[in-house]
Structure 1
């Protein structure tokens, strides 16, 4: 099941400051639980986790931060266009949204974000 580009654009539209604060709270609370569930399904998980650290970095430009928060909030929601619990399909919409966000802001994801991502993913494997 493919997700339409227009729908991805809607999802990635940065919200108000209040909305972004709510998204950040939701992301901080359930991000790594969702990462654990998605490890086998999302081939670019290191980029996703680096995007998490980029979104939480106060040095990240506001527009990029808003896009990442929107994408990561979509990722952690248990019920989205294709619910994550549907085997084989559950993460396909998340992959499309995350990849679009990553492509849009990848110049803002710095080496230190990737270093943190590798450390976090290594700890998940332990």
Structure 2
């Protein structure tokens, strides 16, 4: 059984390096080209983070964490390389989960709607059906 990834696993990683990987175009390209590996649910969470970071109500410190997590998702070289089948995105999922936890207070129904609308634009309605809207 694979080891559960915790925040402790990231303590020796310089997240500033991953901020440098981040750009909107890189994010869109990464999800378009890797949807089956990343998974639609993780992409939905990443898109929520993207839209939270665009929000004026989100504090700068939270935005910085979001950008680092999205940069981590974009980077193929990280704690567990993305090219490893099955587990390659598990560390990315953990980084996104930590950022979601920090940003939770700023994820409004409008943010979720924006994330789903962007997903529909990229993947179509069928891929988005069934995602949680609460």
Instruction: Assess same fold via TM > 0.5.
Output: yes
Q: Does the 8 A contact of 2:52 with 2:107 survive in 1?
A: yes
**Runs (5+) with no aligned partner, structure 2:** 125-134
- Residue 26 (1) aligns with residue 28 (2): no
TM-score between both structures, scaled by the size of structure 1: 0.77
CA distance in 1, matches of 2:67, 2:36: 20
8 A contact 2:31–2:38 mirrored in 1: no
Q: Post-superposition shift, 1:79?
A: 1.0
Q: Flag the structure with more relative contact order, 1 or 2, with Cα contacts below 8 A and sequence separation at least 6.
A: 1
Q: Is the 8 A contact 1:23 1:73 kept in 2?
A: yes
Q: 2:116 & 2:66 partners in 1: Cα distance?
A: 19
Q: CA RMSD in A?
A: 2.6
Which of the numbers 50, 61, 64 marks the counterpart of 2:62? Answer: 64
Alignment partner of 1:35 is 2:37: no
CA contact (8 A) 1:64 1:108 kept: no
Rg (Cα) greater in structure: 2
Q: 1:25 to 1:54 in 2, by over 3 A?
A: farther
1:12–1:97 contact (8 Å) kept in structure 2: no
Residue in 1 that maps onto 2:10: 8
**What TM-score, normalized by structure 2, do the two folds share?**
0.73
Q: How does 1:1-126 map to 2 (within 5 A)?
A: 1=2, 2-8=4-10, 23=19, 26-36=22-32, 37-38=34-35, 41-42=38-39, 43-126=41-124
**Equivalent pair of 1:39/1:45 in contact (CA under 8 Å):** no
CA contact (8 A) 2:66 2:99 kept: yes
* CA distance in structure 1 between the partners assigned to 2:60 and 2:47 by the alignment: 19
